[in-house]
A = this chain, B = another copy of it.
Amino acid sequence: MQLTPGRWGDPAHPVDLPTAAVDALKHLGVRRTDAEPVEPVDRPGLTADQLSFLSQVVGNDHVASDLESRWAHTRGYSTTDLLRDRAGDTSDMPDAVVYPASHDEVQDLLAGCAEQDLAVVPYSGGTSVVGGLAPSRRFVTVDLRRLDQLVELDEVSRTATLQAGVRGPAAEALLAERGYTLGHFPQSYEGASIGGYAAARSSGQSSAGYGRFDQMVVGVTLATPRGTIELGRAPMSAAGPDLRQLVLGSEGAFGIITSVVVRIRPRPTERHFEGWRFESFDTGLAAVRRLAQDGPLPTVLRLSDEVETAVNLADPDVLGGGSGGVLAIIGFDGPYNQATADVLAAAGGTNLGVEPGELWRVGRYRAPYLRDPLLDEGALVETLETAAFWSRIPALKAAVTEALVGALGATPPLVLCHISHVYETGASLYFTVICAQSDDPIEQWRTAKRAANQAIADAGGTISHHHGVGTDHRDAYATEIGPLAVETLRAVKQTLDPDNVLNPGILIPED
């Protein structure tokens, strides 16, 4: 799938809002504005020398400086990104897009960009929702889509070497030919690619079974302006710090990941999804914690809170003709595991059968599509997420909700929440916020987000469980790890990227 600016998903398959949803928005005070998108206006690009350098490295046919190509690579897919797209805001637009075909071409680009006074933004799927593609100075986008090969599949070790530009579905297709799966299905799956998963520490909807992407990576190759780093001679090692984990999450600030070696698994021959009802989020929380700590974990494990359950279920009868309660979804890659169901039942859950599970499965990538028509209708809709240790989860959830409601008081919001990633010691919390747009929806959201960030910090959560840092979370991230850790990151960057060519202003606050 090739994403288009300003709208998520395949333009050939737009998603319409149900009439009931449009009606429901009216209760939030949402009013359609019918503003037409503003067309972007071009601005000066690169010098002839700069274009010549880029062409020398990747070939004439693989440098694009036309408006359409550049606009298509402008920023990511946060709601403020979409609003700025609609406003024709070109301030984050790259000056050119280059399409290298190999690690060596990436390496040559990085080695030469400083001399050409070019900053570089690595571009994998372009699906950042945290300002990860918006550097602090003019730049060339390095689109990695031509690095699209399955380089090696080691069936004995169950590892695959995948180039950074392989999109999620392409990776699955390449592995499926050999009977394997990666098992990484983030909501950005259709658009994002391997390099981005690695650079941003992605986590997918099957994380309970397959783990996070950073747990799948056993090897990584990084091109930097100073040369190449190759890491990973064994699954685990006591040979010093795990430098793979310094590259994972570096968001293009230390180098461009050109390939990774990932753990793969046999492709399951059956899958099962089903819904469970709990009386309240608290009882559901106790149940999913029990599974996370004592098992057996399913492959997919999700728990919506009361508000999300009510909003998402068009048909409340799914909850067993019930009044209230919350919905959990479990999924198995492979045989159904009765022991998992027994734990949920013992914790007070009611099995709702396959229907809600299948509903979730079919719509699992659909949420971001819905945002576009919601914005069209005049709603402000955005998501944010965090993670913490189990004992902090209830207070963290309450604090973030309260902060959002407080900050958006003039346009009372719906705040939906779910848990979708669990660990023995903690879990993620994922929030969706819907309210009426104010006159300045970008500033409206930024204010709300600042309040949420502060609430996360105060309640002991991390600023991101799987969206990453980008520019949106940069300051909160610096506060989270502290000034000495920030200095450490700067020292790493200074070593690998002494001219600040790579993603300037992303991840690490500039001096």
- Nearest-CB distance from A485 to chain B (Å)? 5
**Which residues in B have their C-beta under 8 angstroms from that of A156?**
289, 389-391
Residues of chain B lying within 8 A (CB to CB) of residue A477: 239-240
CB-CB < 8 A to A248: which residues of B? 241-242
Chain B residue contacts of A214, Cβ below 8 A:
236, 242
Q: Are B425 and A263 closer than 8 Å at their CB atoms?
A: yes
Query: Could you say which of A199-207, A272-280, A304-312 contacts chain B?
Result: A199-207
Residues of B near A158 (CB, < 8 A) are 293, 390, 424-425
Residue of B nearest to A230 (CB): B482
A319 within 8 A of B: no
Task: For A293, list chain B residues within 8 Å (CB).
Answer: 158
Q: A236–B212 contact, CB under 8 A? A: yes
Complex Cα–Cα for A156 and B241 (A): 30
For residue A53, CB closer than 8 A to chain B, the reply is no
Complex interface: chain B residues within 8 A of A229 (CB): 481-482, 484-485, 488
User: Which of A462, A481, A485 has the most B CB atoms < 10 Å from its CB?
Assistant: A485
For the complex, what is the distance from the CA of A131 to the CA of B332, rounded to whole Å? 48
The answer to whether B157 touches A390, judged by C-beta atoms less than 8 angstroms apart, is yes
Copies of this chain, tallied across the complex:
2
Q: Does A371 contact B (CB under 8 A)?
A: no
A141 at the interface (CB under 8 A from B): no
Are B159's CB and A389's CB within 8 A?
yes
**Complex contact A237–B507 (CB within 8 A):** no
Classify chain A's interface size. Answer: 35 or more
B496→A488 contact, CB < 8 A: yes
Chain B residue numbers with a CB within 8 Å of A460 are: 233
- Rounded to whole angstroms, the CA-CA distance of A473 and B238 in the bound complex is 11
Residue A353 interfacial (CB < 8 Å): no
Interface flag for A487 (CB, 8 Å): yes
Interface residue A410 (Cβ < 8 Å from any Cβ of B):
no
Q: In the assembled complex, how far is the CB of residue A333 from the closest CB belonging to chain B, in whole angstroms? A: 13
Known: A156-B390, A201-B237, A491-B494. 4 other contacts (CB 8 A): A156-B391, A235-B387, A242-B245, A263-B425
Some 28 contacts from A to B, beta carbons below 8 A apart, are A156-B390, A157-B389, A157-B390, A157-B391, A158-B424, A159-B425, A201-B236, A202-B238, A212-B236, A214-B236, A218-B426, A229-B484, A229-B485, A233-B480, A234-B388, A239-B464, A239-B468, A239-B477, A240-B251, A240-B477, A241-B247, A241-B489, A243-B246, A243-B488, A245-B245, A246-B488, A484-B495, A487-B495
